[in-house]
Amino acid sequence: MTGEPGAPSEPPRADCVADSAGGLTFDVVPPGRPGAAEAWDAALLLRRRGGRGAPADELRLPLVPAGDGRLRAALPSTVALPEGRWDAFAVSAGGEPERIMPGINDLRSLLDRRPDPERGSVAVRIPYVTKNGNLSVRSWLRAPHAEAGEIHVTEESVSVRGRTFGRAAGPDAVVEARRRGDPETVRTAPVTGEGTRFTFSLSYPELAGPWQGGSEAWDLWLRPAADADAVRIGRLLDDVAEKKHIFTYPSQPLTAPNGPVRVGPYYTLDNDLSVRVAEDRSQDAAE
């Protein structure tokens, strides 16, 4: 996908618009002379990062002329996009895939998105800019899903309010904090709520008790009923593709059996909710 012979090569660029149903539209500005888009036989290729080249790791969307020298591709909400990070390429007939640069992302509709809680799954696609300045799409597909909402931190606990999609929390629902790397160590707490709403509180001393040093993570899961599979708790229904360094919460100092620690909630790189127990180094700095 290049311009006139001898002309400086420039990568294609795409503006993205998200709709409230979970679909995406890509308007690609191709390199080269004005009007070149009218003659191109091209596609937008989404390739799952870390995939093994299987058919499910690639998705081709036809690029069609959209006027004003642009090409348009649509990813409707009805087309499944497995969970992961999908790098965007433009490819013409007989050409090599070429990485697409980001343009303007219009994600306003994601801020007010309210999927039907009775649906069996939640599909989320958020375009974002990679650290190398390229366009990619982060996709989640959860069935069912537990969406974290308001988070309240106290000196010795964290409380979370949220919503369920696909499976309501019953009277015997619990939250499970699973010690990462040690599946046999689990702490539970009761869940309260009504309908698709749920609330729970986790005690920091309980999570700090097994701490042996360094930094430990506890991943949070909702088990909506005693006979139901647990569901990972995360925050997906907004326009932020990577929340770890944007949605931050204070950690609290605590004296654990094996020394001073700091405990607090955080979002992982996959926007799932966890709690970190880590050595309190602020005391060393104060000495």
Instruction: Report the percent of the chain where pLDDT is more than 70.
Output: 91
As a whole number of angstroms, the distance between CA 153 and CA 256 comes to 18
C-beta of residue 67 within 8 angstroms of C-beta of residue 29: no
Average pLDDT, integer, range 161-170: 93
CATH number of 145-286: 2.60.40
- Least confidently predicted of 50-54, 199-203, 226-230, 235-239: 50-54
Give the confidence band of 83 by pLDDT, cuts at 50, 70, 90. very high
> Which residues of the chain form CATH 2.60.40.10?
13-140
Tell me the CATH class for 13-140: mainly beta
C-beta of residue 61 within 8 angstroms of C-beta of residue 42: no
As a whole number of angstroms, the distance between CA 118 and CA 232 comes to 18
Of 56 and 247, the one with more pLDDT:
247
Query: CB under 8 Å, gap of 24 or more: what pairs does 147-155 form?
Result: 147/122, 147/233, 147/234, 147/235, 147/236, 147/237, 148/233, 148/234, 148/235, 148/273, 149/235, 151/249, 151/265, 151/273, 153/249, 153/250, 153/252, 153/264, 153/265, 154/252, 155/252
- pLDDT at residue 6, rounded to an integer: 46
Q: Please, what is the Cα angle at 56 between 50 and 57, to 5 degrees?
A: 25
Give the confidence band of 7 by pLDDT, cuts at 50, 70, 90. very low
C-beta of residue 24 within 8 angstroms of C-beta of residue 115: no
Taking only the tens place, the pLDDT of each residue in 176-205 is 999 999 989 999 999 998 889 999 999 999
| pLDDT of 102 higher than 90 | yes
As a whole number of angstroms, the distance between CA 209 and CA 120 comes to 37
Give the pair of three-digit tokens for residue 246.
């944007």
As a whole number of angstroms, the distance between CA 205 and CA 263 comes to 9
Helix (H) or strand (E) holding 283: helix 282-286
CA end-to-end distance (rounded Å), the chain: 61
Of 56 and 138, the one with more pLDDT:
138
